Amino acid sequence: MEGKGLLKELVRLPGGREILKCIQCGTCSGSCPMVEVMDYSPRAFFALIKSGQIKEAVRANTYWVCASCYFCSVRCPRGIKITDIMYAFKELSVKKGFYPKKEPTTKLYESFKEVIEKYGRLSEAKLMQRFAFKKPLLVLSKARLGLKLLLKKRIKFRVKPIKNIEAFRRVIQRTKELESVP
Amino acid sequence: MNEAKEKFEPKLVGFLCYWCSYTAADLAGISRLKYPPNIRIIRVMCSSRVDPVFIIKALLDGADGVLVAGCKPGDCHYQKGNYYARRKVALTKKILESLGLEPGRVMLSWIPASEAPKFAEVVKEFTERVRELGPNPIKRSSFS
Amino acid sequence: MKAVFYPGCTLETAAGYEESIKAVNKVLGIDLPELDDWNCCGATALFSVDKLLSLVFPARNLAKAEKEEAKWIVTPCNACYATLRKVKAILRENEALREKVNKALSAEGLFYRGSISIKHLLDFYLQSELFEGIKERIKKPLNGLRVATYYGCQYTRPITGEETDDPEVPNNLDRLLVALGAEVVDYSMKTYCCGAAQMVSHEKGCLKLINRIVRGAIKEGADVIVAICPMCQFNVELGESKLGYRVPVLYFTQLIGLSLGIPKKMLGLEKLMISSNPLLSKI
Amino acid sequence: MGQEPRIGVYICHCGINIAYKVDVEAVRDYASTLPYVVVARDYKFMCSNVGQEMIINDIRNYQLNRVVVASCSPRMHEKTFRKACEKGGLNPYFFQMASIREQVSWVHEDEVVATEKAKELIRAAVFRVIHHEPLEKRYVDINPNVLVIGGGIAGMQAALEIADAGKLVYLVEREPSIGGHMAKFDKTFPTLDCAACIMTPKMVSVGQHENIKLLTYAEVESVEGFIGNFKVRVRKKARFVDENKCTGCGECAKVCPVSLPNEFEYGMTNRKAIYRPFPQAVPNVFTITKEGWSPCRSACPANLNAHGYVKLAHEGKFEDAFALIMESVVLPATLGRACPAFCERECTRGEVGGSIHIRLIKRFIADWYYENVGTKPPFRVDELKNEKVAVVGAGPAGLSCAFYLAKEGYKVVIFEKEAEPGGMVRYAIPEYRVPKDVLAKDIEVIRNMGVEIKTNTPIGPDGLTIDELFAQGYKAIFLAIGAWKDRRLNVPGEDLDGIYTAIDFLRRVNSGERVKVGNKVAVIGGGNSAIDAARVAKRLGADVTVYYRRTRHEMPAFPEEVEAAIKEGIKFEFLTTPIGFEGNGKVEKMELIRMQLGEPDSSGRRRPVPIEGSNFKVDVDSVILAIGQVPDSEVFGKFGIKLNRDGTVYVNPRTLETSRKGVFAGGDAVTGPSTIVEAIALGRKAAYYISEYLKKGSLDDVNFPSSLPTVDKRRVLERRKVEVIPRVKIKELPVEERISNFEEVELLLTEEEVKKDSGRCLDCAICCECKQCVKACEAKAIDHQQKDEIIEIEVGSIIVATGFKTFDPTPLRRYGYKKYPEVYTSIEFERLNNASGPTEGKIVMKNGKVPESVAIIHCVGSRDEKYHPYCSRVCCMYSMKYAHLIKEKTGAEVYEFYIDIRSPGKMYEEFYNRVQEEGVHFIRGKVAEVTDVAERPEEEGKLIVVAEDTLTGRILRVPVDMVILSVALEPADGAEELARILGIAQDKDGWFIELHPKLAPVSTASDGIFLAGCCQGPKDIPDTVAQASAAAAEALSLIMRGKVEIESATSYIDPEICVGCMQCKSVCPYSAIDYDPSLGVCVVNEVLCKGCGLCAATCPNKAITLRHFKNEQIFSELEGILL
């Protein structure tokens, strides 16, 4: 996937053009709760893009670990909607399939999607079960907590799908069709 | 017809007083504000110079709308010319009605020298308003 | 003025949030029917992986609420609140997307007009008449209780124009608790992120966040941290137990309940992982 | 039209400014096809010499007689091209300009549309110029005086330049002193020379320069006229100090009891209500901050200055406080006990801890005075006069009137029918509220003022008559006979024994008579006398019930009195009224009927209506009727004094004159039963008018000194953070003790309590008019009556130098300004560091300790789209200046958090290097937040500055003791208003716009108005001063020219057509049109005509033409557009 081409695409993303306004002040990074687990801080991430190192940028986990607290967006002196751009990146990377394989969040989100598409609602239990297939160790480490919650009656294993699950699935189906047409 | 209305680009004449509104127009340029190109500005020293005859002549010659703009009440460079302008425009609107022309084709506005954005706003608003009204009937008839 | 309740998926497993809401509404005589057949809003996760679907899911709920002729859709969860607001904003700005979404919804015979407005449960209680109602019915004012108001990040953010409070230093919850007689501490971490879903994949990083959230409360000598969102409450409480803190984390509705003199059983306090007894004895 | 037009058209590219949107070649080709156009050209810069030469040559070579240039705005270059035409030998008015830059290329996106519009505008110009006519030039003389607005470094510099050139300068500064921001600085970058050393001498020479008229504490209100001749109105705000007399000694400030946050020190210290911003102020005079009257004072019927004496009491100056009280009221000790204290109801403190005990403080002051000073009046008689004045009635109104007349020096005699003076206070108010000896002292003071009181001397049938009084040489008479006649119920049995009227009852008790009331006493009524009667009866050992026909809500009695009554065990029966009394000889039973409230009556209270058949009877031993009183005034009716239907005396409400000349009236006699303080107020008012009457004989244009507007409580509470302080608790006699005797119920406040409670005063009006300053001022410079004055000045040019203000970072909550005490703005730090500042230049924290580490945060409010997108230009440099000073003075670690260091300027980069070498930490990263939540031990108790070091990508948490926010510069307050007044433009950020960024950097679009300093945009001191000199030069060159060419476009009236209707004459704003009776037509005086064209548009016969804006010229322009 060619960098320059992608940059054009990025700029076309909603709010994407704003990336070019960045003055690299670092307010975003200083405000970011997840910065410590990021390969590149949000600012550095933008720097990569502005300097054309797109491939390096998209390989970073930066946008995946964004917890979307929007602190950066609120504080950015250039008024850049950083969080939204992070979302755009996630979506793009899924579409293009170049997201960092080692990043567990991607798996978690996939499982999440599967669960709600199946039941219409989320169940932490089901989510964890599915997530377990993808990241067994990580989930195992949470077992003790699960037990504790169970004792507090705060886990339900049985989930019943929403009433109109059929209609709901139709909606999903229709959506997918709509997505396929550009 | 509807199509036509979509496309209709009204032709507007603006009589601007040199001290406030004309300056505001200049400032709009300096600040690179964008507004519809439909307006053509004619400079007068004071809005009070705008004789009802000017407005009527403009409409007879086929203008779709006429804007008269002067200093804010109290700020007239010639003390209170803008008050006279207000009366003259009001009077003109009456005449137009009797001629069967929409008075909405004439607009009076106070635009201080420092308020370029207001000038741009007024032009936008007025252009839209006249676009709604459609082409000046006199012109239409003269063409049919 | 009809309002429908949108619980969100996490409510039923949240520690006594649902119970306390029900109990409080009962005492206040509030009728807040649950939105029929609602579905998950998709939250942060879905937005990340599937744009259109992430618009359709929330839109379905909004459309359903509109169909029930509700004026407000009220949610107790920041994530739902943020997602619904955000989607509403996006669909307001972007006509093309709105059409697409409605095409999808038409599969279920639904249509989203955009007439509905979105309220967080906190703001719902703060409407003057309800707020007055609460004040009048206070039986056990929370005098002497020092509370840290933890709003979480998504109550005032992102900025879509529908928020009711300052994005960095909100005040609504403070107002409510002061009215209940509590002493609200000057808490610096009001809107600091708890790490949300990242708790699963990046626990270490998130515990750091929880640490400062709790320290901030302890520094001001707070007896309790008050949350307005299941995710926040869950993460902070969980984080505390991992970090070895013992500051109870209650839902604001549980405190309203206590001040209205509702027995703790009915407020689901026993479901908390950190016992609330110390502060109960303080009141 | 003269000879055949030959037109040259010139299209300017303006570099690319026009060319990038307008296809200039196409436009040129089009222009050449227009009628009479001989030559059409386009060129890069028509305004350049080459461009102008082009025109001049064409005029010669092609015998052009008309020229059109399509380029920028006529404001920009019309003059230039007219000159060119002139050089070419063409009358400059044969020129027309089309603005295709400001009106086309800069404002429209689409090239095609723009090009078309350009063509049309040029066509219009061509059509118009065809009809142009030659006009001869007109000049006006330049008024050589200059107005400079703003007394900062820019304004001072400009003023001095011009003044030194021998021209007169008016320098208007709205603050009390000139100096502006620079006067607040200690050192200046990059040279670190001391600002004061530069400023002080400059300020002094401005203050002393014979060519500079300094108008400080003044603001420009309006500007009229044109270049060369501006008429300016300046409002000189009242400073309540005579600038010429004040010596700046500062004695006044020492004694001023009011302190408030000092604006000059940004609230880091306090100043007094009378103040001088800083010691080196110019002019070196004091100013009083007076915001009106405090609510307490406005609330008082006598406008007694409660604020003033409360402050004095706080200072322990009880004697002065007593004097201040006596300036407005008499009987202070009485009022201190029996006044309803309207003041306390309005006290702003009421909302934050309970109102101040104003009444009790007054009581303390009076009691203290009588105990420690005695009963000598607190001030001397002004000067003795011969006239005698008679006062009838020694009640509060009479005593008050007498006292103030005596003070004026008149000989006053009071005629009192009773055995003792004091009126109702003496005879109707019970001992337990106002002990007799207290009243006696109050009256003693009045006697000592020289007032003679003749008791047992009624006026009327069994005494002197009004005429006799006049006959005895009294020049004026004041009637204060009060309202002593009790209303009656007019129901059966009202004359039985044991039925008293309240006044009669109270009078007898107060005269020491042992009145037998028996056991069960019924009091009828709900007014104060009803409550008094009830409480007295209670003290006579009776079981008392008050019957009132309305509800407690409507009771006219003072709530606190009712409270006390209830406490003392008095019962109340509401909505009942007696309809008859039974008993043989002596009353035994009372029949009552229940009432219900109906529609509101004239008094606004709901009228009670009887409920049929609700009658019932009660046993009573005696009944006291307290249903109101009226004046006992018939006799005066006989003396030819007009009375009202209710028996009150008719007076002129303004002057209190009765229908009979020389006779005045006041008190209850005029108002009906009222309060003591209202009576006293009328007494003083009467004294004023009587005195004026005796001096002038007529009162037509005499008016009682007017009051000041009341200060708005909201504003008071917003001024600064007010914490709630509860009022001092008052002690009362325990109920059981009270009801057994007539001891005073309310006990005194102690001196400590008085000082404590008065300390809670919020100084609503700021200046409390306690007059301590007047007393302290040897130079007699203080004048509390001073008013704003309007000064009209005429100048030829104006220099605007209104400077900037600093950005308030409070909205940027993340930096904790106002939350953490150790977070300062840059300007606050300037003061902190200033040798004459709050810490004498010591850089210390609020706790007095020296900081070990300081963080300086750049770009706070600058380069931020949410606040100011622009760079404020000076912050980097002053931040580094701070870094240097902090290192030098404290040796602390200094961290500069910057985005980009901007040090463009002579020796600036060098300064940057120097500071770097001094070991200052430069961290490239905008600070995300400042917090006090520690995560590591070393952070405990510090402020933690969180930012990304963008050069290493690391997130830093830097613990520091002090944080300085380098805040943005913004336009000064009122810039918008001034722009409107002057007709100059502001850019989107509010800075004033120069005519041209390169060619005319200090001129504005309004000829004769120039800019200097930061009002045009953020800049440092060197640039400011340079610009100021430039502006001065512009003004001077204008003056040197002596005259300036103005529009030759004037009106002309064609006598052939004019019918002399004179409508033009009536509308002309400059009265430039006269009627010539000999010809029966109107004529324009061209010297006065300013060419607005109003007359031309007005003339019904179209006899008037405005030159250069003639109808056919405008019409053809129209045709050109609409073709």
Beta bridge partners of D219: D235
Q: Per the domain annotation, does C135 fall within a domain?
A: no
pLDDT at C138: 93
Say whether both C237 and C192 belong to one domain.
Answer: yes
From the candidates D926, D945, D956, which should be mutated to test the interface with A, based on the most A CB atoms within 10 A?
D926
Candidates A24, A25, A81: best to mutate against D (most CBs of D within 10 A) is A25
Q: Which residue among D900, D928, D953 sits closest to A27, beta carbon to beta carbon?
A: D928
What does the pLDDT read at residue D572? 94
Structural domain count of chain C:
2
In chain C, residues with a C-beta closer than 8 Å to the C-beta of D932 are: 188, 219
- Nearest Cβ partner for D925 among A25, A35, A79: A25
**Residue of chain B minimizing CA distance to D100:** B29
So what's the ipTM on this one?
0.83
Q: Do D927 and A30 touch (CB under 8 A)?
A: yes
Q: Chain D: give the shortest CA distance to residue B34, in Å.
A: 5
**B24: which chain D residues are within 8 Å (Cβ-Cβ)?**
985
List chain D residues with CB under 8 Å of B13.
1118, 1121-1122
Res. B144: pLDDT tops 60? no
Euclidean distance between CA atoms B137 and B10, whole angstroms: 12
The label of the residue with tokens 């296809």 reads: D23
Instruction: Return the pLDDT at D2.
Output: 61
Nearest to B113 among D101, D983, D987 (CB): D983
CA distances C259 to C20, C23, C31, C38, C129, Å, are 12, 12, 20, 31, 18
Residues of chain B above pLDDT 70, percent: 91
Q: Are residues C151 and C113 in the same domain?
A: no
Query: Residue C219 and residue D933: Cβ atoms within 8 Å?
Result: yes
* Alpha-carbon distance D886 to nearest alpha carbon in chain A (angstroms): 25
Query: Across residues D671-691, what is the average pLDDT?
Result: 95
Residue C197, pLDDT above cutoff 90? no
Percent share of chain D, pLDDT over 90: 79
Residues C208 and C245 placed together within one structural domain of the fold: yes
Residue C74 lies in a domain: yes
Q: How far is CA C74 from CA C3, C60, C77, in A?
A: 7, 15, 9
pLDDT in tens, A108-119: 888 888 888 888
Q: Which residue of C has its CA nearest to D931?
A: C188
The residue segments making up the domain with residue C238 are 140-280
Rounded to whole angstroms, the Cα distance separating A41 from A29 reads 6
Taking an 8 Å cut-off on Cβ atoms, the answer to whether A68 and C44 are in contact is yes
Residues C144, C273 within the same domain: yes
- Answer whether residue D52 shows pLDDT above 80: yes
Q: Which segments within D801-902 are labelled E, that is strand?
A: 804-806, 823-825, 853-860, 893-898
Shortest alpha-carbon distance between residue C90 and chain A (Å): 10
Distance of residue D1083 Cα from the nearest chain B Cα, in angstroms: 18
Asked if A69 and C238 come within 8 Å (Cβ–Cβ), the reply is no
Shortest Cα–Cα distance, D864 to chain C (Å):
17
Lowest mean pLDDT among A96-100, C175-179, D517-521: A96-100
Structural domain includes residue C266: yes
Paired tokens of D16:
């690319």
Residue A92 has pLDDT above 90, yes or no: no
* C133 falls within a domain: no
Are the beta carbons of C215 and D932 separated by less than 8 Å? no
Domain boundary among C93, C121, C149: C121
Contact at CB, A26 and D863, closer than 8 angstroms: no
Same domain, C75 and C189: no
What residues of chain A lie within 8 A of the CB of C208, using their CB? 36
> Cβ B61–D1119 below 8 Å, yes or no?
yes
Residues C144 and C186 in one domain: yes
Mean pLDDT of D240-261: 95
Cα–chain-centroid distance for residue D797? 30
Among C70, C86, C121, identify where a domain stops. C121
How distant is the Cα of D982 from the closest Cα of chain B, in angstroms? 9
For the cut 50, the answer to whether the pLDDT of residue D605 exceeds it is: yes
**pLDDT at site A4:** 60
- Give the pLDDT confidence of B4-55 residue by residue, as tens digits: 445 789 999 999 999 889 989 998 998 899 999 999 999 999 999 999 999 9
Same-domain status, C147 and C273: yes
Q: Do chains B and A touch (3 or more CB pairs under 8 A)?
A: no
What's the mean pLDDT in D579-585? 91
Q: What is the pLDDT of residue D858?
A: 98
Measured CA to CA, the distance from residue C83 to residue D997 in angstroms comes to 48
Residues C158 and C238 grouped into a single domain = yes
Q: How is residue B84 written in tokens?
A: 């006279």
Together in a domain, C70 and C159: no
- Report DSSP state, residue D413: E
State mean pLDDT over C225-245: 93
Q: Which residues of C touch D931 (CB under 8 A)?
A: 188
State the chains in contact with D (3 or more Cβ–Cβ pairs under 8 Å): A, B, C
Instruction: State the pLDDT at residue D553.
Output: 85
Place D904 in a pLDDT band, splitting at 50, 70 and 90.
very high
The alpha-carbon gap from D873 to the nearest alpha carbon of chain A, in Å, equals 17
pLDDT in tens, A3-30: 566 667 777 766 777 888 999 999 999 9
Q: What is the CA radius of gyration of chain C?
A: 19
* Helices C78-93/C51-67 angle, 10° precision: 100
- The answer as to whether C128 is a domain residue is no
Any contact of A with D, at least 3 CB pairs below 8 A?
A: yes
Give the max Cα distance, chain B. 47
Q: What is the mean pLDDT of residues D788-798?
A: 97
Candidates A24, A75, A79; nearest CB to D814: A75
Give me the pLDDT at residue D188, please. 94
Which of A84, A147, A171 best probes binding to C when mutated, by most C CB atoms within 10 angstroms?
A171
Residues C45 and C15 in one domain: yes
Cα–Cα distance measured from residue D340 to residue D1121, given in angstroms and rounded to the nearest whole number: 78
Q: Rounded to a whole number, what is the distance in Å from the CA of C108 to chain D's nearest CA?
A: 43
Could you report the per-residue pLDDT of D1034-1060, keeping only the tens digit for each? Answer: 999 999 999 988 778 889 999 999 999
Reported pTM: 0.84
D945, closest residue in chain A (CA to CA):
A30
| CA-based nearest residue in chain C for residue A85 | C48
Mark whether C185 and C228 lie in a shared domain.
yes
| D932 at interface of C, judged by CB pairs closer than 8 A | yes
At residue D1046's C-alpha, the angle toward residues D1041 and D1050, to 5°, is 150
Q: Are C198 and C261 within one domain?
A: yes
**Rounded Cα gap, residues D294 and D770, in angstroms:** 12
**Within an 8 Å CB–CB cutoff, is residue C171 touching chain D?**
no
> Of C166, C168, C188, which is closest to D933 when you measure between CB atoms?
C188
Alpha helices, H only, chain C: 17-28, 43-49, 51-67, 78-93, 95-106, 121-126, 128-137, 172-179, 198-201, 203-219, 230-243, 252-259, 277-282
Please report, for the domain that includes residue C96, its CATH number: 1.20.1050.140
Domain of residue C247, CATH code: 3.40.50.11810
Q: Is residue C61 part of a domain?
A: yes
**One-letter identity of residue D918:** E
- Chains C and B contact (Cβ–Cβ under 8 Å for 3 or more pairs): no
**Measured distance CA(C213)–CA(C220) in Å, rounded:** 11
pLDDT above 70 covers a percentage of chain D that reads 100
B115: nearest Cα among C60, D810, D990: D990
B32 to chain D, closest Cα gap in Å? 5
Residue B41: φ, ψ to 5°: -95, 130
Q: CA distances (Å), A103 to each of A65, A98, A131, in order?
A: 8, 12, 13
Residue D229 in contact with residue D796, Cβ under 8 Å?
A: yes
For residue C132, being part of any structural domain is answered with no
Q: In whole angstroms, give the CA distance from residue D649 to residue D779.
A: 47
**Could you tell me if D388 and D362 are in contact, meaning their C-beta atoms sit under 8 angstroms apart?**
no
